[in-house]
Amino acid sequence: MNHFWENKRVIVTGGAGFLGSFVVEKLIARGAADILVPRVEDYDLTDREAIARLLDDALQPADLRPAHLLPDGGFRPRPLPDFTPADLIVIHLAARVGGIGANREHPAEFFYDNLMMGVQLMHQAWQRGVGKFVALGTVCAYPKFTPIPFREKDLWNGYPEETNAPYGLAKKMLLVQAQTYRQQYGFDAIFLLPVNLYGPRDNFDPASSHVIPALIRKCLEAQERGEAEIVVWGDGSPTREFLYVEDAAEGILLATEKYSRPEPVNLGSGFEISIKDLAETIALLTGFQGRLVWDTSKPNGQPRRALDISRAERYFGFRAQVPFEEGLRRTIEWYRNHKK
Are the C-beta atoms of residues 340 and 218 closer than 8 Å to each other? Answer: no
- Angle, vertex CA 246, rays to CA 240 and CA 248, nearest 5: 55
Quote the CA–CA distance of 264 and 311 in Å, as a whole number: 9
- Specify the 3-state DSSP secondary structure of 11: strand
Could you give phi then psi for residue 44, rounded to 5 degrees? -85, 105
Quote the CA–CA distance of 115 and 111 in Å, as a whole number: 6
Helices of type H across the chain: 18-29, 48-58, 100-105, 107-128, 165-185, 211-225, 245-258, 275-286, 310-316, 324-338
Quote the CA–CA distance of 80 and 131 in Å, as a whole number: 15
Which of 43, 142, 167, 259 is catalytic? The answer is 167
Tell which residue, 263, 248, 84, 269, has the closest CA to residue 189: 263
Q: What is the secondary structure of 163-186 as a DSSP string?
A: GGHHHHHHHHHHHHHHHHHHHHH-
Quote the CA–CA distance of 222 and 252 in Å, as a whole number: 36
Quote the CA–CA distance of 78 and 316 in Å, as a whole number: 28
User: How many helices (H) does the chain have, and how many strands (E)?
Assistant: 10, 11
159 is catalytic: no
Active site residues: 167
